[in-house]
Structure 1
Amino acid sequence: MALFIYSFITKEGEIRKESDEFESIEALYEHIDTIGGTLYKVFEVPSVLESIYKSIVIGKPKLKDISEFIRGVSVYLESGVSIQYALKDLGEGATNKAIKYAAFKMLKMLDEGYSLSSAMEEIGFFPKIVISMAKIGEASGELDRTLKDAADYLDRVIEIRSATKRALIYPTFSLLSIIGAFIFWIAYVLPKLVGLFTSEGMKLPLATRMLIWISNFFEAYWFVFVVVILAVIFTFPFLLKIKKFRYWVHYTLWRMPIVGMIIRYSQMAFYFQYLALLSAAGVTITESLETMESAITNDYFLKSVGKLSDKLREGEKLSESMKGLNVFEKIAIRMMMVGEETGNMDEQLDRLSRMYYDKVQAMVEVIGKLLEPIVLGFLGLMFIFFILALISPIYNMLGNMTK
């Protein structure tokens, strides 16, 4: 398949510019003839530049763009409009280049005999849940409903991610402010005072000597700090691709006191919402668990829940399998037991999802209050340290001058 950038004249006389993949230039001509247009200009992108072109020019859509797109397809289908017209209209009206590309790419693939789910999978933009729900909708004849459910799920994911980011803004800002203030004192204020202290031949307290040593070390090796910080910033994304390192990072984040709570609640909300969605669509719990594994973003959580489907095949109940893991709370296990006994597993999964989502929202609202005493305590310790290190010798020096 070759990638072509081309423009053509539509039946209405408009010039439209698009890009797409075709087997050959002849296949492109056939495509333009099929839609009743006239090819105007064409450029074949060299194969070595295809990936660069797609990442820069086309890009990838945001989760919100995908949610709006599949919800739009659902509305068209629910209104009795064919999938072809839905994709055509949504593609023409899309402001996001990736969504526009995906819409017309899927339209072309449908004409070639692809199903909607297989076209989504081929394009690579769409999350696993959307593809899974599209397959279920195609098999059950309720594609409009399953796509709507998938869009609702993506909206919930967006809300949880947004809530998580809001929850982490305050501690991140506080930490960076403290580090910035400390660097300012070490780099600019302290060197000026050190000269004053040494010229007076004063006997300096331990705190002052420690601060001077830190200042001298920072002044001598500041470039090392800069290089290390830049190295961490630029190499960390690559290190995360190493499985063992990524697992260690995810495990550490999972176990952290406050940030870990937000991550745990967010992952649980995703997990149970996903399971509820697939279960309500008629997917067996074993298949749902296997599908779910591709949607989990925390490797520690993934490794833990990856054992569930194997235990179910061995004859264990879901609630019993969850007991052997260290990631699920007792209330989640208890609600699963009730769902298995009463047969309303879908409702219990949905309740669990809403419960954990509410916990994330609550954490966002109170995290400032939770971290405030910690931040104030840390600032207080720094203030005391600076008082002992700087103000005390200055006070002694002024006292000597008055004698």
Structure 2
Amino acid sequence: MKKYFLLLILFQYTVLSQPQSVGELLFTELHNFKSGEVNRSYLLYKIPFSNLVFQKEGNIFKAGVKAGVEIFNDSSRSVYRDYTEKIISVDEFELTNDKNSYLQGIIEFSLPSGKYKIYSSFTDINSIRELKSKPHTLKTDSTNIITNPIIVHSDKILCDTLQLFNIANFSGTIPFSSELFSILIPVAEENSDGLEIKAHYEGEVIFNEIITEYFHSPFEFTICNNKVVLNNSANTKNLKYFIAKDISAKLKEGIVSIKISYKSEPEKQDSFQIPVIWINKPHALLDLEKSIQHLKLIESSELIDKLERSSRDNLEKDFYSLWKKYDPTPETEFNELMHEFYKRVDYAELNFRPLASKNGAKSDRGKIYIQFGNPDSMVRFTDEYGRMVETWMYSNPQRSLMFVDKRGNGNFTLVNSQ
């Protein structure tokens, strides 16, 4: 029966779920391209709609930020200051609270060679609330053979008639997600015939490949359909870009050390520490002990007891190993079924908790929601005794379930299932 339960979750995931991108207020990342003696720098920013205040204007909802940057040289002298405004509008109210939709923008500036500290500020236009951002350090006279990698969505997007790279724009991190991400690696030397890339996680080599796929292009960052993209430019240097295609599929959550060296000259190398972050990770997965307790919905008490007896060092490993056997994409590190399960737990905890309890996932409605997802239709009414009743209808598989709030405390009990 419990295996059937998991198959139902997987079916619901396949049909209904959308890729999800822990909830940051603001993401920023800095990139620099050479242009003769001058450096063209780009501060990219990305703010979830859920962290902005939208105001209704006619049939649309508008939000925006005032974005500012101030730059200091290594003598602590202010050398540049600029402010811009970015406005976004949406047609649907639901989008105004969406934590997976974003306002994105670019602040561009040019600096001579040197070392700089870059401070940015972002103020919500409607609420006048300031969103804090960490400062960035920029060395425009760097002699690194390999410059900072650029994290992009593996699938390009159509911008006018061009297929362009869509920047991940998550503060230079690689999202841990069902969506695939690649790394663009700019190199300055034309004679490089390939790169060896090694990714280490907690001492283990999890990625080791020779990359020979590359292209030449002078790039700049632009906005297309409210996304930051790499577009061709006449103002920057033509560089060779190697592509580590779909590298995110092999990466685990945590800090990944990536060593990049020339294939023919391995002494020419650079290393980068890149965080792999689960953006908007389900809260139910943030506490491992509670995550295990929720498994009682789908696993036997004997297996749960065995898991809880694992040593502290092995508990997390054993937990993820248990879920791996249900992974619909075992060739990647991200487990879509586990994500869907705990995303539903989050929703149930928030929406189905009785007045005197915090355990919405353990309520009858919570358990049904975790198993079947949102009903195709729901009817809410008052019965002859003045009690609130909810009837949930599902079409595939076809079933009807009735819940009654017998005590008036929000604890709806399942009384009928057909």
- Name the TM-score class by shorter chain: under 0.3
Structure number with higher helix proportion: 1
TM-score, length of structure 2 as denominator length = 0.20
Decide which structure has the larger Cα Rg and report it: 1
Structure number with higher strand proportion: 2
TM-score, length of structure 1 as denominator length = 0.20
